[in-house]
Amino acid sequence: MKKLIVLFSVIFLTFVIYKVNANNLIDYMSIGDSLDLGINSYGNNTYSYHDYLKNYLDNNNLLHKTSFYYSKNNYKIEELLNDIKNNKEIIYNDKAYNIKKELREADLITISIGMDELINKIESNITSSDIDTLINNMDSLVSTIKKISSSNIILIGYYNPYLDNLKVSKIFSYINDRYKELASKYKINYIDILNLNSNKECLPNYKDYHLNSKGYLKIASKIIEKLDY
C-alpha cells in the first residue's frame, strides 16, 4: 500500500512540475501565406522566419509547443478570416486542430499574410479599391483574432520587391503605414520590413518576389527584438 502511495505521489508530483513548467513556457502559433511557409525565390521551401524564431525560443528554453497548421501558399486575408469565423479544423498526423482553440492557447502569434494576393493584384493592374479591400480585411482579421486571443500578437508588414518602380513603391509605403496604424489601434506589435530588400541581397531571383534564407532571418531578428522574454 505504501509503495502505491509513493508511486502515486511521484506521478502526481511529475505532473504538477510539468504543468508549472509548461505554464511558464511559450505556445507559439504562426499564421500566413507563402512567406510564412518559407518559400524562396526559386519555389523551394527554405527556413522561414518562424523556423528561426522557433529555434531561438527552443535554444533559450522558452518553447512549449508550436502551431504551424494554418499557413499555406496564396492564403488570402479574407479566406483566413472566414476560416476563423467557421472555426476551421485541420487534421495533422491523425490529430484534429481547431483554429479558435489554437488561437486561444497561443502565447505568441505571428501573422504574415496578404503579400501573395497583393503581388497578384499588382501584376494584374491593382486599383485603389483593391488596396482598400486588403487593408479593411486586415483590420477585420486582427479585430477578430484580438477577440479570441489575449496573447502577444505580432503583425508583419510587407517588403517592397519593386524598388525601381516609384508607383508601386508608393503603394507599399501606403499599405505599411496603414498597417502600423492598425497595429497601434489594436495594441499589437508591428514589424516594419518595408526596406528589407533595400540593398537587393534578399531577393536573388529578380523574376520572383520571395526571399532567400537571409531575408527570412532578418525578419526573425526583427521579431526577436520585439520579444520581452
Query: Within the chain, where are the H helices?
Result: 2-23, 34-37, 49-59, 77-85, 99-105, 115-123, 128-148, 166-185, 213-226
**Using one digit for the tens of pLDDT, what is the confidence trace for 138-195?**
999 999 999 999 899 999 999 999 989 999 999 999 999 999 999 999 999 999 999 9
Q: What is the pLDDT of residue 147?
A: 97
Q: What is the pLDDT of residue 174?
A: 98
Q: What is the pLDDT of residue 24?
A: 83
Which segments of the chain have a pLDDT < 50?
Answer: 3-21
Q: Cβ contacts of residue 82 below 8 Å, gap of 6+?
A: none
